[in-house]
Structure 1
Amino acid sequence: MDISEIKTLGSGLARPEGVMAEPGGGLVAADARGCCAKISPDGQTQFYGNVGGVPNGICLDKQGNCIIANIGNGQVQCLAADGTHTVLFDKADGRAMPAPNFPFLDLQGRLWVSNSTAGDLEQSLRQPAPDGCVMVYENNRARIAAEGLYFANGVAVDSEGKYLYVAETTRQAISRFAIGKDGSLGDRQTYGPEPLCDLGFPDGCALDEAGNLWVTFPARGAVGYIDPDRRLCMVAEDRRMEVLRRPTNICFGGKDRKTAFIGSLDSQSIAYFPVPYPGQALIHQL
């Protein structure tokens, strides 16, 4: 894809790491100033909420509430449209989770949340260690579902609820777990190449209806996908980071969910471009 095909929407954002597409055509984005933003289809941007910390990954529930993995204060929060919020949890199995990174609400109603590290964020990026995990929250209780992950980051679950995908950033790989009927996870399997590619530190991931797992690469300024044959296909690459400015999370929306919207670490807006297959419908898009 030529970089000129990538457009942007919204303005004035600060580190919009997480982005979600609403059914009506608008977007919701995380903002590092302790709030979120609503972006209308014509680009008007309004900020709401006061959740503190640094909102990172986000997802939406059926009611349109924004679930936030707040990597700045260690809380997983639920932000309503009126700006009020509640804390869903900050511990799993009685252990503090200091670095919640990305939440994913599957079609069975389970909330999966990655926790990147048990220690210092910057140190964990410089000195990789298997101290990340994935938590699952159901019936008002959070438990640890998988441990021993290298900077657990983006999370996705297929529409049938069979597999959980996790981006392990410092391992430069995607892991996949079979999901049991009781919500337990099977053994970790590497999904796709390892390492993924040069500067292949994955951040976000999302599935489309063709079975492709889309992945963002902030250090490379790139977005690609792992096809069902587990080959990595690069779609957009912006080494100069003129528009894909350290891309982080990806979601699908617009007409037939055939537009990819990209969160980032460095942009003040949301990049977007057309994709060949519809994105998998998330729980708030059904």
Structure 2
Amino acid sequence: MARPAGQSGEDRALRLRAGSGGGRVIRKGSYVVHGLPAKLCADGLVLPEGPRWRDGELIFSDMFGHRVAALSGCGVVTTLARVTQQPSGLGWLPDGRLIVVSMLDRKIRVVGKDGSADVLVSIGDCAVDRCNDMVVDARGWAYVGSFPASQGATAWERIDNSPMAAVACVDFRDLDNIRVNIAATGLHMPNGMVISEDGRTLIVAETAGRRLTAFDIDQDGGLANRRVWADLPIRPDGICLDVQGAIWVATPLDQPAFLHVREGGEVIATVDGDGLGGFACELGGEDGRTLFLLEAPYPVQPDAPLGRIRSVRVDVPGIRKSDGNAQ
């Protein structure tokens, strides 16, 4: 399988900065965090995104590979479905079926056991240009971000010039009467999202806004009490939440590629992308302490399989639902 040019796969470095304690670079073996070696889980991907830990596997979208896939504990990647209109955010319906955001046609598709990806509902005008990431709560509310088109001479300028967009809310509680509405407007490129362990708070990464924004979730799935959860020194993409309420943040446009952040903006630790951008991250593994790092070059090369998934061991596990799976 292809590797990023100029990288050996064994003699790479990871830079970890914790609090104000400075930085260190470790070049023994592959990667090391807290004295434990990390590993390359999969390469030869194009743009891995939208990861979710489920039933002992990492389920993710390979956006420009046009597929939803599963990464097993032994490093085998299996295609679950083909999604020609670029797959992104993932989640599960109350009945246990996997759903995926189809970006370009602004639809949510349900993944069948036969590899099908049939349209379940259209987001329509509730999204600006393209749909993007998604999170689904335990009751069946799904929140979907937008990826609006913009102008600029560079990829960085196009992100920063992105117009304001909305977060859509899809009510999947009654699958015979699915409803879609706009839950929040005026977000500066709403991207990765998480829901707090008690189910009462939605946190959204505003990529162009360089911040994480929180909302209260009311009993009807609506969003209220908008507030800044953390201002960031980077443009955030995918995010995941640990049991202490801190958030791991991925960024494809800046370095370090991954930050561990507390509410208010304190950076606890960072992980360098070693030349690649961080697009998403997820806490999983048997004990929830394996941090999966989904990486690819930026700007993205849609026809080049230079993306990869690495994993590192961390101290604080991710939140888990009653069935042991992540959000």
TM-score by length of 1: 0.86
Name the CA distance, whole Å, in 2 between partners of 1:247 and 1:90.
29
Q: Alpha-carbon deviations, 1:86-128, whole Å to 9, x = none?
A: 2232235x546531111111122211111122x4587852523
Partner of 1:211: 245
Question: Which structure is higher in strand share?
Answer: 2
Deviates more, 1:55-64 or 1:73-82: 55-64
Partner of 2:48: 16
Partner of 2:295: 264
Give the letter for the 1:59 counterpart. Answer: G
Shift of 1:154: 0.4
Contact kept in structure 1, 2:42 and 2:308, CA below 8 Å: yes
Partner of 2:142: 111
Give the letter for the 1:113 counterpart. Answer: V
Partner of 1:225: 260
SS of residue matched to 1:201? coil
Give the letter for the 1:214 counterpart. Answer: W
Contact kept in structure 1, 2:127 and 2:167, CA below 8 Å: no
Q: Does 1:79 align with 2:117?
A: no
Contact kept in structure 1, 2:256 and 2:270, CA below 8 Å: no
Give the letter for the 2:252 counterpart. Answer: P
Contact kept in structure 2, 1:107 and 1:159, CA below 8 Å: no
Q: Does 1:179 align with 2:217?
A: yes
Q: Does 1:135 align with 2:168?
A: yes
SS of residue matched to 2:170? strand
CA RMSD of aligned residues (A): 2.4
Q: Does 1:149 align with 2:182?
A: no
Number of corresponding residues: 274
What is the identity percentage for the equivalent residue pairs of Structure 1 and Structure 2?
25
Contact kept in structure 1, 2:137 and 2:199, CA below 8 Å: yes
Name the CA distance, whole Å, in 2 between partners of 1:229 and 1:169.
17
Q: Alpha-carbon deviations, 1:131-183, whole Å to 9, x = none?
A: x1111111411111001111110011112111110000011111111111221
SS of residue matched to 2:205? strand
Deviates more, 1:220-229 or 1:62-71: 62-71
Name the CA distance, whole Å, in 1 between partners of 2:269 and 2:252.
13
Shift of 1:270: 1.0
SS of residue matched to 1:269? strand
SS of residue matched to 1:188? strand
Partner of 2:120: 88
Structure with larger Rg: 2
In structure 2, the CA distance between the partners of 1:19 and 1:273, relative to structure 1 (3 Å rule), is same
Name the CA distance, whole Å, in 1 between partners of 2:237 and 2:225.
21
In structure 1, list runs of 5 or more residues that go unmatched: none
- Select which of 113, 117, 132 maps to 1:101: 132
Name the CA distance, whole Å, in 2 between partners of 1:254 and 1:129.
37
Name the CA distance, whole Å, in 2 between partners of 1:189 and 1:15.
31
SS of residue matched to 1:69? strand
Contact kept in structure 2, 1:178 and 1:186, CA below 8 Å: yes
Give the letter for the 1:259 counterpart. Answer: T
Shift of 1:61: 4.7
Deviates more, 1:275-284 or 1:167-176: 275-284
In structure 2, list runs of 5 or more residues that go unmatched: 1-15, 17-24, 33-37, 298-305
